Amino acid sequence: MRIQIGAKKTMERLDEMLESAMDGTFEEERYDETELSRLESRWKQYFTSTRHALEETRRERENMKALVSDISHQTRTPLSNILLYGELLEEKASDGEERELARQIMGQTRKLEFLIQALVKMSRLESGVLEIFPEGQNLLPLLQDVAAAFGPKAREKGIELDVRFPRGEVFCRYDRKWTAEALGNIVDNAIKYAPAGSRVGVSAREFEFYVCVQVKDQGPGIPEEERARIFGRFCRGKGMQQEDGIGIGLYLAREILERQDGYIKVSSREGEGSCFGVYLPRAEENLSKV
C-alpha cells in the first residue's frame, strides 16, 4: 500500500514538473539524495540550457533579420544610381557602340539587382524571418495578380498567356502576397523558356482536400534525371545556361508553399513542355471572414 502511495506521489510530482516545464515555471523543490531529487536537478539543468539555447536562437534571428534588412537597404541606392547613370550615358552616347555599352551596363545592373533581391528573400525564408500568414480566401484574386503581372511580358515575347478564371468561387488557404510570388516564379519560368508563338496556360482544379493551380507550357521540357533536383537552390537545367536566371525561383516557390501546408509537383516530357501543379489547402467560405 505504501509503495502504491509513494508511486502515486512520484507520478503526481512528475506531472507537476512537466506542467511547470511546459509553461516555463519549473523550479527544483527537493534537495536531498533521493532519485526524484536527482531527477529534478537534472531536469532543472536541461530546461535551463534549453531556455538559453532558445534565447540564443532568438537573438541570432534578430541579428540575421537586421543584417538582411541592412544589405537590402544599403544596396538599393547604389544600384538605382548606376541605372540612372546608365540611362544618362545612353542618352548622351554619340554612336551606336557607346549606346550598346550603356545598355549592357544597365542590363547587368538589373541582373545584379534581381540577384540581391532573390538572395534576400531566400535568407529571410531560411532564417525564419519571413512570416507567411495563410487565410481562407477566394482563389480569383491570386490568378488576377498573375495575369496582370505577366501578361505584358508574355506579349512582349510573342507568347499567349491563357489564364482561365474559375466560373464560381474557389476558396483555399494561402497568403496572397507570398503565394503570388511563388506562382509568379513558376509562370515567369514558363514564359522565359517557352518559344515565341507558343502558349502558357494557367488554370485551377479542385480536389477533395486541395485546390491545384496548374501552369502548363510548350517549352523544351525537363529531362527525367533533372526533375528530382529542380527545386533545389541554384539548380539550373543543362540546356538553360544561356537564359537569364540564377536558379532559385522554384526553390523559393517550394519553400513558400510548404510554409502554408501546400506543395508543388511537376510532370514533363522532353520536347513537349512541362506542367507544374501548385497545391493549396482547401478552405470553406466562412474561413475567409475569421
* Residue 266 bridge partners (DSSP): 276
Cell of 141: 484574386
CA distance 244 to 283: 37
CATH number of 1-130: 1.10.287
How many Cα atoms sit within 13 Å of 152 on the Cβ side?
3
DSSP string, 78-120: HHHHHHHHHHHHHHH-SSHHHHHHHHHHHHHHHHHHHHHHHHH
Kindly give the interhelix angle for 96-127 and 249-258, rounded to the nearest 10 degrees. 30
263-269, strands of its sheet edge to edge: 160-163, 199-206, 210-216, 273-281, 263-269
pLDDT truncated to tens, each residue of the chain (290 aa)?
544 555 666 666 666 666 766 565 656 555 445 666 666 667 667 767 777 777 777 777 677 667 766 777 777 788 888 888 888 888 887 777 888 888 888 888 887 887 777 777 777 776 666 678 999 999 999 999 999 999 999 999 999 999 999 888 999 999 999 999 999 999 999 998 899 999 999 999 999 999 999 999 998 888 888 887 888 776 665 555 445 556 678 888 998 999 999 999 999 988 889 999 999 999 876 444 33
Per-domain residue ranges of the chain:
1-130, 135-289
CA distance 19 to 33: 23
Is the Cβ–Cβ distance between 212 and 278 less than 8 Å? yes
User: Among candidates 224, 156, 212, which has minimal Cα distance to 186?
Assistant: 212
| Candidate CATH numbers 3.60.60.10, 3.40.630.30, 3.30.565.10, 3.40.50.300; the one for domain 135-289 | 3.30.565.10
